[in-house]
Amino acid sequence: MNSLKGKRVLVTGASSGIGREIALRFALEGAGVAVGGRNAERVEETCHMIVDAGGRAVPVVGDVAVAEDAERVVREAAQGLAGLDTVVNNAGIDANQWHDVADWPVDEFDTIMAVNVRGPFLIAKYSIPHLLAAGGGSMLHISSVCAITVWAGDSAYDMSKAALNMLSDHIAVEYGPRGIISNTLMPGVVHTALHEGVMEGMNDGRAFERVLLSRHPIGRFGTVEEIADAAAFLCSGSSPFLTGANIPIDGGYSRV
């Protein structure tokens, strides 16, 4: 079985939640990790956690939805790690208030699309040359079960994650012959600050949360550690024939 030891990894959105846990897990398994995020203080917190655990971390601060920032984040990650061979596109947002399609404020829709679609595209655009220079590598995109299911009112987020799946598929097809594999993980509900923000922003958030729970046959929500476990496997080199896959990790949510 292959491992993450020695891999040079960029994780976006690594200042909290799933991204932070993935960065920590990869570092603990021997990878050098470039920790990406918009909030410099939280990025440094993740880096300190990695270093305190005996790992190697490089802070890279920027907004992935801004082309100049995305290019710089990738460049600084590659410089700090002497190259890149693994990229985890994790940065993403949801709206704190949902709307039916005709009621979505255009600026809010554009913001979600900018972070969840434009951002991953830009990180992929600027990091693929580094992966090719390394002789190939792995890209993992943290999508959502919302990419393949529908909750009325959350169309902007659902659409953005469906688009992210398609980005991953294109990378798999276009760059597979040159040694790059690309997959998505599609988590169900996971306890994170993003989830809490959405629930608190809804008038009946906790009641809706109970409905969400009922959609998980396993009887609970997921944990960031479980997502990191799956991410570590997919990026470890243990599954070189697995590419172009959009993998639910959702406690059965997408099968109900």
pLDDT tens digit string along 83-108? 999 999 999 998 878 899 999 999 99
Tell me the C-alpha distance between 56 and 50, whole Å. 7
Task: Please give the pLDDT value at position 202.
Answer: 65
Active site residue 157: yes
The total number of residues shown for the chain amounts to: 256
* 26-40, 57-71, 121-135, 145-159: least confident range: 145-159
- CATH class of the structural domain 8-189+223-249: alpha beta
pTM listed for this prediction: 0.94
DSSP state of 105: -
182-212: per-residue pLDDT in tens?
999 999 999 777 667 666 766 676 787 888 8
- Where b means 16+ CB within 10 Å and e means fewer, 177-209 reads eeebbbbbbbbbbbebebbeebbeeeeeeeebb
* CA neighbours closer than 13 Å in the CB half-sphere of residue 221: 13
* 28-32, 188-192, 244-248: least confident range: 188-192
Tell me the C-alpha distance between 27 and 7, whole Å. 9
35, 15 contact by CB (below 8 A): yes
Q: What is the residue whose two structure tokens read 């992929």?
A: 124
Tell me the C-alpha distance between 147 and 246, whole Å. 9
SS3 237: coil
Nearest CA to 182 among 227, 222, 239?
A: 239
Per-residue pLDDT, averaged over 3-26, amounts to 96
List CB contacts of 72: < 8 A, sequence separation 6 or more.
60, 62
Domain ranges of the chain: 8-189+223-249
Q: Is the pLDDT of residue 143 over 60?
A: yes
Task: Please give the pLDDT value at position 10.
Answer: 98
Walk across the sheet containing 246-249 and list its strands.
Answer: 56-61, 32-37, 8-11, 86-89, 137-142, 180-187, 246-249
